[in-house]
Amino acid sequence: MHKSNSYNLKCAYHQVPMHEEDKQKTAIITPFGLFQFNFMTFGLRNAAKTMQRLMDNALQGLDFCFVYIDDLLIASSSLEEHLDHLKQVFDRLRKFGLVLNRDKCVFAVENLSFLGHKIDKYGITPLPEKVEAISNFPRPKTVQDLRRFLGMLNFFRRFLPHAALKQLPLQKMLGKCKKRDKTPLNWTDESDQAFQNCINDLKEATHLAHPDSNAVIILMTDASDRAIGGCIQQREGDSWKPLGFFSRKLSTAEQKYSAYDRELLAIFASIKYFRYLLEGTKFTILTDHKPITYAFSQKIEKLSPRQINHLNFIAQFTVDIKHISGKDNVVADALSRIESISTSPLAYEDIARSQQDDEELDLLLKQPTSLSLQKLQVPNTDVMLYCDISTQVIRPYIPKKHRYQVFRNLHDLAHPGVRATVRLICSRFVWPKMKQDIVNFTRSCIACQKSKIFRHVHSPLAEFKVPNQRFVHINIDLIGPLPSSQGFSYCLTAIDRFSRWPEAMPLTDIRAETVAQALYSGWISRFGVPQRISTDRGVQFTSDVFHSLAKTFGIRLSHTSAYHPQANGAIERWHRTLKAAIMCHTSVHWVSALPAVLLGLRTVFKEDL
């Protein structure tokens, strides 16, 4: 679009005559008598629809002309074509008896303001004065003020990626508010940061391209635990340009969906939102959830009714769903937002000049590496930068001269630690051996050394208190299933912590009642009641039956930490010795060999005792 015009009809509604039978419905009483409107008046509920329908009929077939009620926009690629377009529009308006307001018309300009947006040949962006007005909006004090702010912000919602997720802390503050609710707001650090992020996102709003009917279209979708979103993009040359963003938060019920269902819902909702752009167009859906790519090849019997409905709707538009690989996942708005990668403005002209003389960059371009370096244009400038596109985010290459400046821009925000700073910078920029450079920069930060306290506290290894007499504290456990021998398949094992006296009692099963009975007859009746028993968290030892046994005899039960057998190490280590000794008796069943094995283990010399 090189030349464009903007028109506005003069008293647009008053150019539409009223039907004779409907004039009486517009009657008004005045001090001078009863009057009726001969032409359509403002304020009628169907006035806007009637006017839009009239303009659509008047200008149908002129695809270079866009109409919104009484506002007309004409786009042309050259001045000669523009004059021809003007003649066609004027002829149609004259045919329908419509008159333009000359004072509100703008002719043959390369950019103009239209319906709150700035339009030029590159695309569409929010009007700077609108952005400035919202940016200067004071922090809302009441619920009504916050609703007013969100309403203004969401007028430009399609320019804002992940708007639903970023506005979630602010939406939570609204709660179940009433109309004109003046309840004071309770601001927190999270909500205050979300307020500032929303304003910053609007200031850095993505430049949306004009749709091209011949361009390749992709729809990228994603879902999180609390929100879903999508981005529609078209290919222009070697890059992808965004056409619009969509996002919304998930309801309470939708947040309980599985990851598969949330990703499917994101595709369904994105297609529904961009239907006016996608209908009748061949496009591809890109998602980072690989199971979705097999959605149309699985059996319908495995699908829930909701999944069938979603897939049925999606299939009306496309069945081409692909997974985003690392090198292909180049998000369009990342390129259009290179200027916002750092918190402090970087002189990209200086970086571009430094890249021309950078020996490390020349070496990277000549030899094969994991990076994918391409020369890309910084939006709205003539600067060309070498950037890495091998990850999800486009990362400019930073020459040696500017690396410390990049570090200071990001690290000085909150002075995070080494790992956090490495992750912060590596996700936005790239240069050789950058991790080591960032580590050295962080460790040499004077502010961090002055302010941070470096302490390395390690908990000392705990020791079990050794009993002062035998049979006071025992460890018990279960082993099995073992090869069936004389009807027995399991063993209840026990060992005294003071004397290391071991016992192994064969069991037919490991029900709680069987284990409790074996402990009572095999240990308590022979050696007396222990004061304390250590066990793991097996269901037999945590059962009501076992707790009743302990309560009856006044025994204190100690359970180990889950998935931590070291805490019951005395008996666990003895199991290995016991099993090895049993396996050595190959000529008889293990129940028959058990008394001999226990005799040998009890009489073996123990150095620590």
**Whether residue 211 sits in one domain with residue 94:** no
Tell me how far the alpha carbon of residue 2 is from its chain's centroid.
38
In a domain, residue 567? The reply is yes
Over residues 252-265, the pLDDT tens digits come to: 899 889 988 999 99
pLDDT of residue 346: 59
Instruction: Provide the 8-state DSSP code for 520.
Output: I
Task: Identify the segments of the chain with pLDDT beneath 50.
Answer: 1, 326-344
Percent composition of the chain: helix, strand, coil (DSSP 3-state, to 5): 45, 20, 35
Look up the domain containing 144 and give its range. Answer: 135-337
| CA 395/CA 373 separation, integer angstroms | 9
State phi, psi for 355 to the nearest 5 degrees. -65, -30
**What per-residue confidence (pLDDT) applies to 81?**
85
- Are 293 and 388 in a shared domain? no
326 and 177 in a common domain = yes
Angle of the 434-443 helix axis to the 418-426 helix axis, nearest 10: 140
* Calpha distance 596→491 (Å, rounded): 16
> Do 369 and 437 fall into the same domain?
yes
Distance CA 607, CA 591 (A): 29
Residues 284 and 368 in one domain: no
The single-letter DSSP state of residue 485 is B
pLDDT at residue number 380: 62
Do 82 and 111 share a domain, yes or no? yes
Residue 342 lies in a domain: no
Domain count, the chain: 4
Domain boundary among 106, 126, 146: 126
Residue 461 falls inside a structural domain: no
In this structure, how many other beta carbons lie within 10 angstroms of the beta carbon of residue 422?
19
pTM of the model: 0.46
The closest of 64, 90, 89, 62 to 77, measured between CA atoms, is 64
Q: Is residue 260 part of a domain?
A: yes
Which residue, among 535, 540, 496, has the nearest Cα to 516 in the 3D structure? 540
CATH code of 35's domain:
3.30.70.270
pLDDT tens string 107-144:
877 777 777 777 777 777 777 777 777 777 778 878 88
Nearest to 219 by CA among 239, 206, 234, 208: 234
Q: Are 123 and 208 in contact (CB under 8 A)?
A: yes
Contact partners, residue 485, CB within 8 Å, separation at least 6: 506, 589, 590, 591, 592
Same domain flag for 23 and 121: yes
Contacts of 441 (CB under 8 A, 6+ apart): 404, 407, 411, 421
Asked whether residue 560 is assigned to any structural domain, the reply reads yes
538 within 8 A of 530, measured Cβ to Cβ: no
Look at strands 532-535 and 473-479 and give their pairing. Answer: parallel
Task: Identify the domain boundary among 337, 365, 393.
Answer: 337
Domain edge (last residue) among 107, 126, 145:
126
